[in-house]
Chain A
Amino acid sequence: MKHSKDEILLKSDLRKYSLDDIRYAAYSVTDEAHVELKKSNLKTIEISFKRKGKVSLKNTVKRFTDELKNEKIRADIFKNNAELREHLILKALSSEEKPQPQTDDAGLTPEQEKELDELISQVEEEIKKESSGRKNADPLGINQTWEEKNAGKRKKSKK
């Protein structure tokens, strides 16, 4: 392992850890470092860590090596269970009840349309009544725009 303040170089044995394991462990520390993977030869990967901010690269590399060990275990377990997992999810998906058929049209029958028109006109009538004299019914000016109320003040504050 070579290291300086801003960069650490590490070598990993591909016979011990797969390229996917190394890739994931590298990804998991990308919050703290730029990580570059380079194949040295058929058996070795060279990993370069360049720090992003004020972090200790040693800690980042420690995180990487821990994650690499964990990833190997996870990958083995996942591989061991891949078929079973797919089978269970497929079983769960396929035995789900089918959703209710979609209605063709959310429109109304002529009778319902008539009933609704009456209802709407009734509501509109109420709104008209409520609206009459509305201009005077806003003593606090809450129907005014924010700009209308505050435009003058804003200009003042900018000055």
Chain B
Amino acid sequence: MPVKEKKVKNKTKAVSAYGAVADSRWRKVSGKYLLINDFGNFEYLKSPDFDKWLKSKLPKKSKVFESLAEKGFIRTHMDFDKLTEKWRSANSYLFAGTGLHIFVMTLRCNHTCVYCQSSAIDSSKKNTDMSYRTAKASVDFAFKSPNPTITIEFQGGEPLLNWDVLKKTVTYARSVEKKTKKNLIIALVSNFSLMTEKKAKFLLENEVSICTSLDGPKNIHDKNRTYGKMSSYAVTVKWLKYFKREHDRQKNENYRIFKPSALLTVSKRSLAFGEKIVNEYVARGLEDIFIRPLAPLGYAKKYWDSIGYSADDFISFYRKTLHHIVKLNAKKVIREKMAMMILDKVLNAHDPGYLDMRCPCGASIGQIAYNHNGDLYTCDEGRMVGWSGDEIFKAGNVFKDSYSSLMSSPVTKGCVLSSNLEQQPLCFRCAYKPYCGVCPVYNYEVQQNLWGNMPSNDRCKLFMGIFDTIFELLAKPKEAAILRKWVQK
């Protein structure tokens, strides 16, 4: 029958029109087509080459064809073993179990930061301190994860306000490390206000890596991070200097001293001072700066109008600041951590452990937040939502639940499903899918459901802008050489 024949013919034609095109996504960046596939390979194509590739008309002996074939963009020329090996490497976290265990040692804090995402409370309420019994049970719980490397991160509030328990917990965790023969990384995130030489010495001897907050020069830092009548900046700089000096002069000790690191939280008032903030980091001898966007969670959500900003504002800030950092690299080593983590995925097919940018996200399967009372949350952001009275992200309790029951809890499953980019319509088609991730907590808080609506999602827009900035730089040989150096293995 003629009609039927015609239909079959059309169908065949439609499929074969892209006969040599392997599954890929694309986006226009710097006037070129940026092709990316699920294996994390990328290629820039000029418009005529893109059209030829799409129509399967690229000459087989051309350099473009060879490069595309090697990277898995030509379906008739794919090296299955090499490509699947790369996919496995980029997605190795799927097989590892929970690596990051965040211990909320107390909700108390002696700072009143304008954006405090942890929604810290005053230091009188000692009932929000984690007891040693809870901390010990949390260590045991953390070591139940099949991950060969366990990271315990002490957070708060200000964790040093619960120093006695923290100290005992470090000792206990190190003993469990010996017994289980796992690799244990311990990190402390502190504002340093309660740091003493004695505490510092204990932390260094126990190989605790130290991280603090530095929002830029004194006037910016102290405005963001209020510490009564005192200068938070002065305390931060003093102890950064101390830990850096200890790191620099370490010799053949029985323990390693890690270089201290600092986190930058970008508030509305930071937006005009990108260069000054970076210069402050350089002046403090820090080699990494992490330009972190503020998220409307916890305290920050309440005051978003005065401290928050649009995705466009952040992208503009990020772009300018990253360009400044790249320029500085002619003289100094200073790297941007967000870019480094993305570059590690893009150039090394390696998972840098950035749980916000994973598919599925790190909720429970990559990180667990242990609240002071033993309640377990999918992540620290989920814990903050719980603190505001909504326990949707509470996945269990350290005394009542097992690691396996936590993994199979409806809360964990809900987060895993909703952050699976294969099921997010816009993400599934996005060129940056192999490197990106969505956050169910953000979606829930901002768009009132775990799945969110990506076309109107500011976090999506923001990350899209960050990826565009990085791929624009990677398209320029001089800048690309600097970026490649940042993540060279």
Report whether B429 and A77 are in contact in the complex, using a CB–CB cutoff of 8 Å.
no
Report whether A84 and B23 are in contact in the complex, using a CB–CB cutoff of 8 Å.
yes
**With contacts A143-B123, A145-B124 known, what are 8 further pairs, Cβ within 8 A?**
A84-B23, A103-B180, A119-B171, A120-B171, A123-B167, A127-B164, A142-B230, A144-B110
Residues of the B chain whose Cβ atoms lie less than 8 Å from the Cβ of A97: 95
Report whether B144 and A102 are in contact in the complex, using a CB–CB cutoff of 8 Å.
yes
Report whether B124 and A28 are in contact in the complex, using a CB–CB cutoff of 8 Å.
no
Q: A99-B96, A116-B172, A140-B230 are in contact. Are A77 and B455 (CB under 8 A)?
A: no
Residue of B nearest to A128 (CB): B164
Q: How distant is the Cα of A41 from the Cα of B227 in the complex, in angstroms?
A: 68
Q: How distant is the Cα of A120 from the Cα of B167 in the complex, in angstroms?
A: 10
Q: Which of A123-159 contact B (CB under 8 A)?
A: 123-124, 127, 130-131, 140-150
Q: A88-B84, A89-B87, A108-B179 are in contact. Are A146 and B95 (CB under 8 A)?
A: no
Residue of B nearest to A63 (CB): B455
Q: A88-B84, A96-B88, A99-B146 are in contact. Are A73 and B54 (CB under 8 A)?
A: yes
Categorize the interface residue count of chain B: 35 or more
Report whether A77 and B23 are in contact in the complex, using a CB–CB cutoff of 8 Å.
yes
Residues of the A chain whose Cβ atoms lie less than 8 Å from the Cβ of B21: 77, 80-81
Q: A92-B87, A99-B95, A140-B230 are in contact. Are A147 and B453 (CB under 8 A)?
A: no
Give, as a whole number of angstroms, the nearest-CB distance from B331 to chain A. Answer: 39
- Name 29 interchain pairs, CB-CB below 8 A, sorted by A: A24-B429, A27-B426, A28-B455, A30-B453, A30-B455, A31-B453, A31-B456, A74-B25, A76-B18, A77-B24, A80-B75, A81-B21, A85-B38, A88-B84, A92-B91, A100-B146, A100-B148, A103-B143, A108-B175, A127-B164, A131-B164, A141-B228, A142-B193, A142-B228, A144-B123, A145-B125, A146-B123, A147-B122, A148-B123
Is B31 close to A, CB under 8 A?
no
Is A112 close to B, CB under 8 A?
yes
Residues of the A chain whose Cβ atoms lie less than 8 Å from the Cβ of B48: none
Report whether B23 and A120 are in contact in the complex, using a CB–CB cutoff of 8 Å.
no
Chain A interface residues (CB < 8 Å from chain B): 24, 27-31, 71, 73-74, 76-81, 84-85, 88-89, 91-93, 95-97, 99-103, 106-109, 112, 115-116, 119-120, 123-124, 127, 130-131, 140-150
Q: How distant is the Cα of A71 from the Cα of B87 in the complex, in angstroms?
A: 25
Residue of B nearest to A126 (CB): B167
Report whether B125 and A30 are in contact in the complex, using a CB–CB cutoff of 8 Å.
no
Residues of the A chain whose Cβ atoms lie less than 8 Å from the Cβ of B401: none
Is B168 close to A, CB under 8 A?
yes
Contact of B124 among A91, A142, A147 (CB under 8 A): A147
Q: How distant is the Cα of A77 from the Cα of B75 in the complex, in angstroms?
A: 11
Report whether A28 and B426 are in contact in the complex, using a CB–CB cutoff of 8 Å.
yes
Q: How distant is the Cα of A10 from the Cα of B96 in the complex, in angstroms?
A: 50
Report whether B175 and A112 are in contact in the complex, using a CB–CB cutoff of 8 Å.
yes
Residues of the B chain whose Cβ atoms lie less than 8 Å from the Cβ of A95: 84, 88
Give, as a whole number of angstroms, the nearest-CB distance from B370 to chain A. Answer: 15
Is B194 close to A, CB under 8 A?
yes
Report whether A116 and B180 are in contact in the complex, using a CB–CB cutoff of 8 Å.
no
Q: How distant is the Cα of A109 from the Cα of B84 in the complex, in angstroms?
A: 43
Q: How distant is the Cα of A3 from the Cα of B202 in the complex, in angstroms?
A: 72
Chain B interface residues (CB < 8 Å from chain A): 14-15, 17-19, 21-25, 38, 54, 75, 78, 80, 83-85, 87-88, 91, 94-97, 108-110, 112, 122-125, 139-140, 143-144, 146, 148, 161, 164, 167-168, 171-172, 175-176, 179-180, 193-194, 198, 228, 230, 425-426, 429, 453, 455-456
The 7 closest A-B pairs by CB, nearest first: A145-B124, A145-B122, A31-B456, A81-B23, A146-B122, A31-B455, A92-B84
Report whether A127 and B194 are in contact in the complex, using a CB–CB cutoff of 8 Å.
no
Residues of the A chain whose Cβ atoms lie less than 8 Å from the Cβ of B172: 116, 120
Report whether B140 and A106 are in contact in the complex, using a CB–CB cutoff of 8 Å.
yes
Give, as a whole number of angstroms, the nearest-CB distance from B374 to chain A. Answer: 16
Q: How distant is the Cα of A85 from the Cα of B87 in the complex, in angstroms?
A: 12
Report whether A77 and B18 are in contact in the complex, using a CB–CB cutoff of 8 Å.
yes
Contact of B23 among A29, A85, A141 (CB under 8 A): A85
Report whether B15 and A142 are in contact in the complex, using a CB–CB cutoff of 8 Å.
no
Residues of the B chain whose Cβ atoms lie less than 8 Å from the Cβ of A119: 171, 175
Report whether B95 and A96 are in contact in the complex, using a CB–CB cutoff of 8 Å.
yes
Residue of A nearest to B14 (CB): A76
Residue of B nearest to A103 (CB): B180
Report whether B167 and A30 are in contact in the complex, using a CB–CB cutoff of 8 Å.
no
Q: How distant is the Cα of A4 from the Cα of B23 in the complex, in angstroms?
A: 40
Residues of the A chain whose Cβ atoms lie less than 8 Å from the Cβ of B112: 146, 150
Contact of B146 among A79, A81, A102, A107 (CB under 8 A): A102
Give, as a whole number of angstroms, the nearest-CB distance from B93 to chain A. Answer: 11
Give, as a whole number of angstroms, the nearest-CB distance from B340 to chain A. Answer: 25
Give, as a whole number of angstroms, the nearest-CB distance from B462 to chain A. Answer: 14
Residue of A nearest to B460 (CB): A31
Report whether B168 and A120 are in contact in the complex, using a CB–CB cutoff of 8 Å.
yes
